[in-house]
Amino acid sequence: MSIYEDGRHQAGSVGQKQRLFCPYCGTKLDSGAHFCKNCGERVSDSTQEPREYKQEEAVRGNPTKRKTVYEGCVHKCPNCGEVLESFLTVCPSCGYEIRDAKSSTSVRELAQKLENISAQKMPDFEEKKSVMKMIFGKDFKEKDEVEEAKKRFDEQKAEEKANFIINFSVPNTKEDILEFMILAASNIDINRGVDDAVTKAWIQKLEQVYQRAKIIMGNDPDFAMVHNIYEQKRSELKSRKFKGLATGAFIAGGYILLMAFLFFMAENLAAAIILLLVGIALMVGGIKCISIYHKKNKHNL
């Protein structure tokens, strides 16, 4: 029996009253010692676990061996087993047509959540009835309480949608990035307007997805598809802004012409002529810019 085993045996027989040898290293202990003078371990506590056991626990919690972790899924051809790349509809090895390919789960999750928000109904609204409404059926107020409450509820739903769209995390796969790019671009309707909260959220999501695509797919040939969608939608947004400025210039020119007419009536010819020239220039410039916008829009269609 070794000194170490003998020490542990004697320590176990003596118990808590007296330990003759250190249970960890076998060194003889001084009388009344609470710590081993050789290894420094506490020896006065009988519930102290052996150091070897503690070391094993440490090793188990911080393994020294490398571990292989597999991420994602491997997509293979159902006919020949060839590993398929993204966006393929036909197997490059056997020519098998890939059908029933599932769309991105992230896109489905986003669409489902937005549908749930849209389906929310305004809770029952108890309107305060006045004497006028009980007699005439109408309160004759400037704003109807029910309509005002419905308007606030719709605004709240739109804000909830916008926050969810902006904060929704886009996965790093090429399929997800492309599908989110198409989804964001299709929800930005230039003709309907871009000033509402939901459309602004989609514009911000378009920027987010494009910046992520630049980092993940910057050197990938498939990045060209994402870039084309982004540039086309940005061009449409710039054209709409251009049209807004042109329309504003046309309206401002009309007001200035009206002021020029008033100055003519007041016989202030110098100011009237200046205003007349400025007004005509703004109106002509506005008409020309609007015409250019419509030509570009027709060409894009």
Question: Any idea where the domains of the chain sit in the sequence?
Answer: 3-61, 70-101
With 0.85 as the threshold, say if the pTM is over it.
Answer: no
pLDDT tens by residue, 216-257: 887 878 888 889 989 888 888 877 776 677 777 778 888 888
What's the confidence (pLDDT) of residue 65? 65
- The answer to whether 91 touches 82, Cβ cutoff 8 Å, is yes
- The answer to whether 20 touches 10, Cβ cutoff 8 Å, is yes
Backbone conformation region of residue 239, classed left if phi is above 0, alpha if psi is from -120 to 50, else beta = alpha
What's the confidence (pLDDT) of residue 69? 72
Highest mean pLDDT among 17-31, 152-166, 178-192, 253-267: 152-166
What is the pLDDT averaged over residues 254-275?
80
What's the confidence (pLDDT) of residue 128? 52
Which amino acid would we find at residue 240?
A: R
User: What's the number of CA atoms in the CB half-sphere (13 Å) around residue 257?
Assistant: 12
What's the confidence (pLDDT) of residue 16? 42
